[in-house]
Structure formats: structure tokens, C-alpha cells
Chains A and B, each alone.
Chain A
Amino acid sequence: MISKIRFTSVLCLAAGLLLCRLPPAICQSDRMTAAQSHLQAGRVEQARKILIEIVGQNPGQQSAQALLGQIAFSRQQFGEAADYFAKAPAILTGTPLLRVNYAEALLETRSAALAKGELSSLPANHGVAQFEAGLLLARYGDFAGAERHFLAAKPHYPKPDVAAYNLALAQYSAGKLQECSATLEEARKNGFGTADVLNLLGQSYAESEKNTLAVGVLKEALRRYPKDERNYISFARILIDEDSTTEALDLIDRGLAVLPSSPPLRLQRGYLLMTLGRHKEAESDYRRLLATSNESNSARIGLAFVLIQSQRQELAATLLEEAIKNSPPDYFCHYLLAEIYIRQGLDDQAQRHLIRAESLQPQFAAVHSNLGKIYLRQGKLSDAINELETAIQLDPADTTAYYQLSIGYRKMGQALKAQQALASVRRLNEMERELGTSRFLTRKLKTFQNALASSSPQ
């Protein structure tokens, strides 16, 4: 895995297990006892029928409502689950983990505000519930919210190293790098210098441009965990950032000496060789990766990049066409193929693949800006502007989208908006110039890696 952010959980949230944790008070009547027996025996449908009868006769029977909520939740029938949970407030108060499920059901079907309201009423000292609330919000991309719950969980959660790591990861994801580094340093001081902690700390320092600290941490990580490929990759990023691409390649080679069959390291090596203009070697690495892991779209994409760089666009197109035909749908393959067709002046083919890429991954800005570019050439001004404005919403640093928008606005007679878009182009280009070649490369590398990481899993 290439520095892909992940959250860890020590709890299994499977419905059956959770049901068994319900307080005995819930199961007071005979029919309730029967329902519980069915549940414990895995006969969920039979239990459900009994519970429905119970709430039909007595809607105020909160225990049955809560169990029905949980059954619906475990079947991912979130609307139904939310309805049942809503009718069991007393049970939710006594069972904070059920409230977390209720919040998730609300997140899925109603509003984030309602869900967060539920989570805010969790008992502050219930470490497990607070931790699960943090996980839930992180899963939904609310990292600041997740941070609050992980902070609450930290003093009470049974595994402090896991709590600290998840807190730090939420802080990192929320862009609170200083807080992230502090959390991880504390964990490190408390003897929790795990591979995860050291790698994230290195990344956090690097992102905060504290490269010396990052290098120190990553060196320690490499020494203690020489078989953790993430450390080589994080360290290599810093080296590229410091204009030391060759040294980055040396480091990746060191990693490959320890982990010769590591796909991420091989992918990274290919990329570095490509940026160094050593296309044949890069091609060889990607082909080697393909030979060992034939379904690897990441290797295909890397190889396609090399083929494009070395003027073999047609071969790259064939490779990607094959990948599209033989592998699960992959937005990046469609996107890259469209790029090749654009370079060949074949807008119709490009458009087809961009539309497919957009349907697979609507959050990828470059797809929208390329589609906008093509629509503009076709004279479909409003379609073009829609796509380009979407691209900018997704990536406010998308120069292509701003530039093409300026053309679109101009053609629509919106001179002021055209000027504003051009001002953004100038600003972004100035920023890029200030970043210099190495920073630009690092950014490209990150885009490349993120693309590979978010490409279809194999």
C-alpha cells in the first residue's frame, strides 16, 4: 500500500455480536427471550418476526424497537433502522454503541447534523463508543469531527496506542499537522513507536516542511522496521522534494533489496526512473511487475505513462484498452486513454472514455476539465462551463480548467468572469514557478501515487 490512509478498529461491529451485548433488561418477556434465542442461533428472520409482533402490540416496547433497529442496521436498511432506533431513546442512552449505529443510519439516510447531534450525546468517558464515533465520522470524511471523538476516547480506550494513532490520523487528514505531530510524538514518548506511528509522524513532518525532523523519524523507522515499504516511499518523497531524485532512487533500491517483491516499491522505482528520463529501465520495472502480478492496473498505468513519455502512444493506448477490457472498471485507465486520444487529436474517442471515467469517479477534477475542453472545442458552451466549474470545485488548483473557463466565458460574452479566470491562471502559474522543479515533481508524484492508490483494487 502506498501510504494509503487507513483507520484501525479493535471492535467487531457485526450485528450478532452487538446484539449479545444488549443488557439483560431488554429480554424480559418470554417472547423477547424467544427472539433472543433465535438471534443467538443465527435465525435472524424468525427473531425479527417475533419482534415485529411485539412492537405491533406495544410500540412503547423500546427493547424490541432497538433490536429491530439493529437487525435493519446489520442488513444496511438504514432508513428502517433509524426509524426503529428513534423509538428506543432509553435503550440508546443505556447502550452508547447502539447510538453510534443510530448516528450512522442517520448519516446514511438523513442529515449529518442529526447524526452529529446523536454522537454529541455519547457519554464522554465511554472510550469505546467515542472511538467508534471517531471511526464513523472519519469514514464519512469529517476528520475534524472524528478528531473530537478520538480526543474524548483517548484517556479511556483500552488500547491507548490505537487511540493515539487514530487521533493523529484524523488530525493529519484534517490538515492539523502540528497537532498530529504532537500526538504522535507523545505516543512515541510513551513507548508506542510502532511502524504506523513513525511513518505517519514522518509524513506529518514532511508535509509541515520540517524535513530534518521527518528524515530523523523516517531513518529511525527504517532502522526499526526495514520491511515496512511505506517508510522508503515517504523518505523518497522528501528526497525528491529536496532535489535529490537520484538519492530517492537509491533509497528505493535499498528497499527493494530487503523487499524484492514489493509492488509499491517497484511502482515507485518505475516512476522515479521515468522522471529521470530512464524510460527503458522504467519500462522494464513495470513489465516485471506486470509479469508477477498480471492483474495489476497500477503497473499497466505506470507502463502506459512510460510509453507515452517515449513516444509510443499507440502502444500505450492498446495496453489501456486491454486493461479496460480485462479488468474491473477503472476510472484512471479511461482517463489516461482519453489523454492519449486528446494528444492524437481524436476528441471523439477521448470524450467516450472521459464520460466513462466520470461515471466511475466523479470526484476526479482532471476528467471534468478535459471534458470541458472537448465540449468547448465542439461549441457546447454551457456543457463545457458546467464541467470546468465542477473541475475547479474539485481541484481549485486546476489550471487547465481555469484557462479553458476563461475561453468559455469570453465566448459567452462574460468578459469580467473571463478576466477573473485568467487571473487565477496567472496566480497558479506563479505559484508553480515558486515551487520550482522539484516541488512540482513531488506534486506530480503525489498525484500519480494517489491515482494509483485510488485506482481499482486488484
Chain B
Amino acid sequence: MVAAALAGFAGYGAATFATNNTPGKAFHFDDVAAQVGLQTPIVYGGEQKQKFILETTGTGVAIFDFDQDTHPDIFFVNGSRLGGFANRKPTNLLYRNLGDGTFRDVTQSAGLSRTGWGQAACVGDYDNDGKTDLLVTYYGENVLYRNLGDGKFSDVSEPAGIRNPGRWNSGCSFWDYDRDGDLDLFVANYLDFKDATHYEPGSGPNCRWKGMAVMCGPMGLKTSQNMLYRNNGDGTFSDVSAAAGVSKTTGCYGFMPVTIDFDQDGWPDLFVACDSTPNLLYRNNQNGSFAEIGMETGVAVNEDGKEQASMGVAVGDYDRDGFLDLFVTNFSEDTPALYRSSRDHTFTDATYRAKLGLNTQFLSWGTAFADLDQDGWKDLFIVSGHVYPEVDSHPSETSYRQRRSVYRNLANGSFQDISTQAGPAILAKKASRGLAFEDLDHDGSLEAVVVNLNEAPSLLKNQAKDKGNWVILQLEGSRSNRSAIGARVQLTTEGGIQTDEIRSASSFYSSNGLRLHFGLGGKPDIEKIEVFWPSGARQAFGNVRGNRVIKVHEAHGIQ
């Protein structure tokens, strides 16, 4: 049985060089997590009942090659439970990709076996030593792990000055906002630390749901303040939240920050998904400060001007117009939000026109634009799960565990929900949170890694054969930060242009790693690859062949 499963997963051969227009043929996901060795559950909050909002948010996952053996590894943030544990406490989990389609738990040897109410993970080489480092946020603190390069990490939070205890740190992103060549850090904060565990279920107007007494919040609880840390270049960071204008924006239950140079001025901007409050868009003023312009640019609320329960964020150019769009997941009985970017640097809520407003039954978290059929158009993947386990014993027709959603990009500005035709792993119901995509087995197609609360994670492998050509770009900065976070890549093929940026984190509390994956459709030829580095440098490469991983160095070009 294991052998059969491995044969399915470890497909190192080239992808089938064909595309087709039959939905479902290029999408068939199986969950191979157990077979490849991802079996330890992610523990988070009560399984039947949750007393406080702290127990609901769950954790993220980061995929990155920590040991530089070219095989992307998987790091899961683990959580905790009120009342503690009789036996061993759950710890974060680092799984080393052995390159044969299986993973080994190396958490302990890597020095990452920390316990606590873990939240998000984001990655980036903050010290520019060529090894990708890791930040894990907690309810209570931040932990910065420096990658020592020998398979081990060292907790440098204290000397780095980013521990910041007594806060509910949520999503995080490394980015070089001042373009000085080293990575700075943004940490969103969800809500007030004390309020997170203060109010009893049913004790106030915001502690009931459909007649049921449930945990309180976020409405009615105090918000907190997002944090910006500037990298001093010597292994330490300074809190510049006030000076940069970040702390001016209160009134956001901050979940997920993602970087996006929405105005294409070369200076990275940042979007923060805020739960039940207006989302934020920090425009980089190019002088170390930011202007918050979410409302003015059209990403703070939906087309009816209503605040939504923004959880996770995907960034991608779904319509291939050269401008990056945003997709935000929301609460059930509401639609997600697709913000389509325009040339005038504003966004339009295109949810309904893209046919993404019809499924309102899901309470969704992790999400990604990913070209799953490799036809050159980014599809959408969403994972869901309710916040109240109590719904399962309630007469309402919703459920705590919910299935995944796959939307195929129809290349005309709209999507088609193909979830029911996309394989058994899509229909499996879980209480999911974090989600990250990477090509874990070097077959050119993307696998999805999903955090499921109080269950083992999922590793969803697209077993469909009818996928298009592909290319993966792995960038390394020299003048720019070494992780190349913030670098924008524009790919020109016969079918038009595709655009993406390298970012430290997205989805919900998660990191897709630092490589960019593009589908190429029926032909493996790329007319041009352009790279716009954070340093301002620009490179262009013509007539490049796809179906391979292409390494691009800022100083030396394609390697």
C-alpha cells in the first residue's frame, strides 16, 4: 500500500505536454499526507467546544528548502489547548523532504520543538547569509529562528529585538520596505491579548451565533496594533511602527499581511486582511513611511461598502493584465472578495463577475492563486472550516469541517467551480486553516499542503495527467535581499504575459516558499523573462525553454 502511494506521489518524470479544456481532467487531487510521512496532528483549541476566540484561529504552514538540498521542506506551526496536555505537548513540526517522495520529522534535531499557541510562519533570509530563516508568531510573542546551515536553527528573537511579548501576533511577512538590501519584518496583530481569553461564551451580544452561546469576538473585543520592524543590518531589528505610520492605523483585527507592489513603483506595498474591520493597504511613501489607502483604492470593503471577515489572501494576476489582483477569503454566508487591479492603481470588486460569489456556505481561510492545470491562467484554491465546533450539534445545516474548493480559471475573467470534479481530496471535510503550494516532488506541478485542526495535515497531489508545460523560477538577490523577496517577474509567452512577485507569506498564516511557478500551456517556450529586482536592477532573458527550474541570480543572470 505504501509503495503504491509512493508511486503516485514520487512522479519525477516530465509532465504530460498537453492542455485540454475539459474541466476536471487536469484536476484530480488525492491526499497522500499519511503515505509520505505527514501524520502528526496539528493541535489547536477544543475539538467539541471552544471557550475563547484564541482557540479558533489555527495555524499556518511554510514550505522552504531549509537545508539547501533543492528539495522543498515543510514546516507546520503547532498550537495548544486550554487545560493543557496529560502527556507530551504538541510542538511545531519540521519535515525534511528526503527527495524520494517521503518526509522525515526533523523538528527536534533542527531545534524547532517549541510549544505554545503558534500562529503563522513566514520565511526569508534576513541576515543575507544564503540560508532561509524562519519567523513563527505566537499568541504571546514572536520567535525568530536563524538558520545555521547545519540543519539547525537558533532562536535569536531576544537579541534581534522582535520577541515583543504580551501581544497576539498573527500573520507575518518579511519584506525590504526601505530597499536597503536586507529584509524587514511586518507582524500583524489580531486583537487585544487579554480580551482573547477574557469573556465567557454567551456572555455578551457578540458571543452568540444563530441562537447558540459561542466564544466571544472578534466584534466587541479591543483591537491591537500592527508592528513594523526595520532590519538594522546587524542581526537586530528596530520597532519603527510609529515612525512609519503603521501604528496610526488602529481598528483592524489583523490577520494576514501580504506584500504587493500594487502601483508598480518599485517600492513594496502591503495589504493586511482584517477580520470584520476594513482591510488595510499601506502604500509605501518611499521615505520609510506609509499611507493607509485601503478605502480609497477599493480593497478595504466589498462593493457594497461592507466590512467582511477577511481571513486569508491570495495575490496573483488572474486576468494577465500585468497587474496583481487580490483574493480574500471570508466568513460563511458571505462571499469571498476578488479585488481586480486597474491601471489607475485602484481595485474593483470583481467577485460576482468572476463567478466567485455563488458559494456562500464556506467559512474560508487559506487560499492561493495557483496554475493547477498549467494552462497559463492562475486557478484558485481555497480551504475552509468553521470557527465553532458547536455547529455540528446545532440544527443549522453548516458543519465545522468543510470541503475544499477549486476554481478553474476560464481565461475570460471568470472562474468555474470544479470542486466536485477535482478528486476525493477536495471533497474531504476538514477544519482547515493554513495552506501552502509548492512543487514538492519536482514533477513541475504544484502540491498543496493544508493545516487541519486537531487532525493530521493534508498533502494534496494533483494526479491528473493532462496538465500543461511549466517553469519554476528560483531567484537569488545580490544587491537586493538574497531571498529576492519583492522581486517581480514578468513572463512573456505566445499566450501573453504572466506576472508575479516573490513574497515571504500569503494565504492564511502560511508561506508558499520563495520560488515562482508558472504554467505555460501547450508550448514550453518562453519568449521573454523579465525580472525587476528590489534594488532597481532589471534583467531580461529571451527564448527560454520551460519544464525546468530556472535559477536567476541578480548579478550573474540565469545559472
Stretch in B157-165, B348-356, B369-377 with 4+ CB within 8 Å of A: B348-356
- A278 to B358: give the CA distance in the assembly, Å: 19
Q: Are B306 and A429 in contact, CB atoms less than 8 angstroms apart?
A: yes
Contacts of A344 in B (CB 8 A): 352, 355, 358
Contacts of A436 in B (CB 8 A): 205-206, 219-220
User: Which partner residue on chain B sits nearest A369 by CB separation?
Assistant: B304
User: Which partner residue on chain A sits nearest B219 by CB separation?
Assistant: A433
- A249 to B352: give the CA distance in the assembly, Å: 33
Contacts of A243 in B (CB 8 A): 205, 208
Given contacts A277-B210, A399-B306, 15 further A-B pairs with CB under 8 A are A249-B211, A276-B211, A277-B397, A278-B396, A279-B397, A281-B395, A310-B361, A311-B359, A407-B298, A410-B346, A425-B295, A429-B305, A433-B276, A437-B206, A438-B205
Kindly provide the distance from the CB of B417 to the nearest chain A CB, expressed in whole angstroms: 10
- A243 to B205: give the CA distance in the assembly, Å: 7
Contacts of B396 in A (CB 8 A): 276-278
Q: Are A245 and B210 in contact, CB atoms less than 8 angstroms apart?
A: yes
The range of chain A's interface size is: 35 or more
Contacts of B205 in A (CB 8 A): 243, 436-438
- Pick the contact of B305: A244, A275, A399, A433 (CB < 8 A): A399
- Pick the contact of A246: B211, B278, B301, B359 (CB < 8 A): B211
Q: Are B353 and A403 in contact, CB atoms less than 8 angstroms apart?
A: no
Contacts of A410 in B (CB 8 A): 296, 346
Q: Are A276 and B395 in contact, CB atoms less than 8 angstroms apart?
A: yes
Q: Are A400 and B352 in contact, CB atoms less than 8 angstroms apart?
A: no
Q: Are A313 and B358 in contact, CB atoms less than 8 angstroms apart?
A: yes
Interface residue A75 (Cβ < 8 Å from any Cβ of B): no
Interface residue A183 (Cβ < 8 Å from any Cβ of B): no
Contacts of A139 in B (CB 8 A): none
Interface residue A343 (Cβ < 8 Å from any Cβ of B): yes
Contacts of A404 in B (CB 8 A): 303, 305
Contacts of B206 in A (CB 8 A): 436-437
Contacts of B354 in A (CB 8 A): 345
Kindly provide the distance from the CB of B455 to the nearest chain A CB, expressed in whole angstroms: 24
Could you list 7 examples of A-B contacts with CB < 8 Å? Answer: A245-B210, A281-B395, A403-B303, A422-B295, A426-B295, A429-B278, A429-B306
Q: Are B208 and A276 in contact, CB atoms less than 8 angstroms apart?
A: no
- A309 to B333: give the CA distance in the assembly, Å: 7
- Pick the contact of B210: A275, A347, A399 (CB < 8 A): A275
Interface residue B421 (Cβ < 8 Å from any Cβ of A): no
Interface residue A373 (Cβ < 8 Å from any Cβ of B): yes
Contacts of B220 in A (CB 8 A): 436
Q: How many residues of B contact A (CB 8 A)?
A: 37
- A244 to B211: give the CA distance in the assembly, Å: 6
User: Which partner residue on chain A sits nearest B361 by CB separation?
Assistant: A311
User: Which partner residue on chain A sits nearest B205 by CB separation?
Assistant: A436
Contacts of B357 in A (CB 8 A): 343, 345
- A372 to B397: give the CA distance in the assembly, Å: 35
* Interface bits A22-48 vs B (CB < 8 Å: 1, else 0): 000000000000000000000000000
- A400 to B210: give the CA distance in the assembly, Å: 25
Interface residue A280 (Cβ < 8 Å from any Cβ of B): yes
Interface residue A402 (Cβ < 8 Å from any Cβ of B): yes
Q: Are A429 and B301 in contact, CB atoms less than 8 angstroms apart?
A: yes
Contacts of B335 in A (CB 8 A): 343
Interface residue B241 (Cβ < 8 Å from any Cβ of A): no
Kindly provide the distance from the CB of A374 to the nearest chain B CB, expressed in whole angstroms: 11
Contacts of A342 in B (CB 8 A): 352
- Pick the contact of B352: A276, A279, A343 (CB < 8 A): A343
Q: Are B397 and A310 in contact, CB atoms less than 8 angstroms apart?
A: yes
Interface residue A394 (Cβ < 8 Å from any Cβ of B): no
- A403 to B395: give the CA distance in the assembly, Å: 36
Kindly provide the distance from the CB of B284 to the nearest chain A CB, expressed in whole angstroms: 21
* Interface bits B375-403 vs A (CB < 8 Å: 1, else 0): 00000000000000000001111100000
User: Which partner residue on chain B sits nearest A407 by CB separation?
Assistant: B298
Contacts of A52 in B (CB 8 A): none
User: Which partner residue on chain B sits nearest A308 by CB separation?
Assistant: B360
Interface residue A428 (Cβ < 8 Å from any Cβ of B): yes
- Pick the contact of B301: A245, A281, A311, A425 (CB < 8 A): A425
- A310 to B395: give the CA distance in the assembly, Å: 15
Q: Are A276 and B210 in contact, CB atoms less than 8 angstroms apart?
A: yes
Interface residue B307 (Cβ < 8 Å from any Cβ of A): yes
- A407 to B347: give the CA distance in the assembly, Å: 10
Contacts of A438 in B (CB 8 A): 205, 208
Interface residue B416 (Cβ < 8 Å from any Cβ of A): no
* Interface bits B197-215 vs A (CB < 8 Å: 1, else 0): 0000000011011110000
User: Which partner residue on chain A sits nearest B202 by CB separation?
Assistant: A243
Contacts of B295 in A (CB 8 A): 422, 425-426
Contacts of B352 in A (CB 8 A): 342-345
- A373 to B220: give the CA distance in the assembly, Å: 32
Interface residue B539 (Cβ < 8 Å from any Cβ of A): no
Contacts A311-B361, A345-B355, A436-B220; is A402 near B305 (CB within 8 Å)?
yes
- A275 to B210: give the CA distance in the assembly, Å: 7
Closest 6 CB pairs of A and B: A403-B305, A277-B396, A246-B211, A399-B305, A436-B205, A400-B304
Contacts of B307 in A (CB 8 A): 429, 433
- A426 to B278: give the CA distance in the assembly, Å: 9
Q: Are A345 and B301 in contact, CB atoms less than 8 angstroms apart?
A: no
Interface residue B414 (Cβ < 8 Å from any Cβ of A): yes
Contacts of A403 in B (CB 8 A): 301, 303-305
Contacts of B298 in A (CB 8 A): 407
Interface residues of A in 258-312 (CB under 8 A from B): 275-281, 309-311
- A165 to B208: give the CA distance in the assembly, Å: 38
Interface residues of A in 401-458 (CB under 8 A from B): 402-404, 407, 410, 418, 422, 425-426, 428-429, 433, 436-438
